[in-house]
Amino acid sequence: MQTQPLGSSDLQVTRIAYGCMPLGGTWDAAPLSDSTRKEALRSIRAALDEGINFFDHADIYCIGKSEEAFSAVWDEAPNLRGKIILQSKCGIRFAGEPNPASPHRFDFSYAHILRSVEGSLRRLKTDYLDVLLLHRPDPLVEPEEVARAFDELHQAGKVRWFGVSNHTAAQLELLRAYLRQPIVANQVAFNVIHTGMLDEGIVFNQDNPKLARNEGTIEYCRLHNITLQSWGSLAWGLLTGRAPEKPAEHITRTSALLAEMARAKGVPPEALLVAWILRHPARIQAIIGTTQPGRIAASCRADGLELDREEWYRLFTAGRGEALP
C-alpha cells in the first residue's frame, strides 16, 4: 500500500489507516471476553494483510477495552511493534467519572493528559505512542498546560508526535502558538455525505449560506503541513446497506449513484468511498473502522483506484444534497 508523510513528522504512514474503536466490543464495564479478543485479532490481521501500518485508538474506545484487545497482537507477533504506527487520543471524559455527579465533558488539563497517556500505554502494552491526538476541543483549554504536558511526554519518550482531532483552523492556531512540538495531524469527520469542510469554502458569500462562518480548516492544514485524517470514511455504512434513522432522499440517491459507479468500475462501493477521500489534493489519510475482514479488503482496493474530476464531483454533488452554486 502507498505511504505518505504524516505532517512534518518522520513517519511514513499508509494512506489508509485502521480505526480500532470497535475492537473492544461493548461500551460498558464488562470484562473483555475471549471471543471479543479473537474477533479483534481477526480484524487486525486483515488490516495487516492489506499492508496497513497505522492503527488509530482513543482512551475512551469501548471504555479502554479496544486498546486492551489490540495488545493481544504482541503475543502473536512480538516483533511487530517497530513495524507499525500507533496513535491514540485523549480529552473526552464520561459522565459519572470520577464522581456520580461528574458531567460528560472535555479535559485538556495537564493532569488528565498525562493520566490518559499512562492508561493507554498500560492497556496497549507498549512503552510509547507514535502519535497522541487531543480528541474534541476543550472550551476551557489552557494552552500552557497542554504545552507542559506535551513537553513532559516527549522528553520522557512516551509520545513521539502530537496532533488534534475535530479542531478548527483558529483552535489549531491557538495551540500552535504555545507548543514546542509541531501539530502533525487533525482528525475530522469527512466523507461523501459529510462535506462541511468543503462546503464552507463553496457557500461563502452566498445569499443563504449553509454555514455561518468560513474557518478554512482544510486550507490551514495544507498551508501548515498538518495531515488531515478522516473518521467516518465509509459514511457509517449509510451508503452500503445500513438503514438511516431518518430516511433522507439525498442519501438514497447517493447510495444508488455509488452502486452504479462501483459496478461500472468493477470495484466494491467501499473502495469508491475511500478513493473519493484520497482524491482530494490535501492528501487526506482515510481511517476505516469496520471489523469485517471483507469490508477491510474492499476498502483497501481504493489504494490503486483513481477518480477523475467528473467522477469526484458527481459523488460530491449527490452527497451534499443540493446543487453547487
Query: Which of the following is catalytic: 61, 128, 220, 313?
Result: 61
Q: Compute CA distances 110 → 10, 100, 117, 154, 170, whole Å.
A: 26, 23, 11, 14, 21
- Segments in 2-139 forming alpha helices (H): 34-49, 65-70, 73-76, 110-124
Among 29, 163, 21, which Cα is nearest to 91's?
Answer: 163
15 backbone dihedrals φ, ψ, rounded to 5°? -60, -25
Is 220 known to be catalytic?
no
Distance of alpha carbon 197 from alpha carbon 219, whole angstroms? 10
Q: Compute CA distances 221 → 63, 84, 122, 132, 211, whole Å.
A: 30, 24, 32, 17, 20
Would you state the cell numbers that stand for residue 117, as one nine-digit string?
497517556
Residues catalogued as catalytic: 61
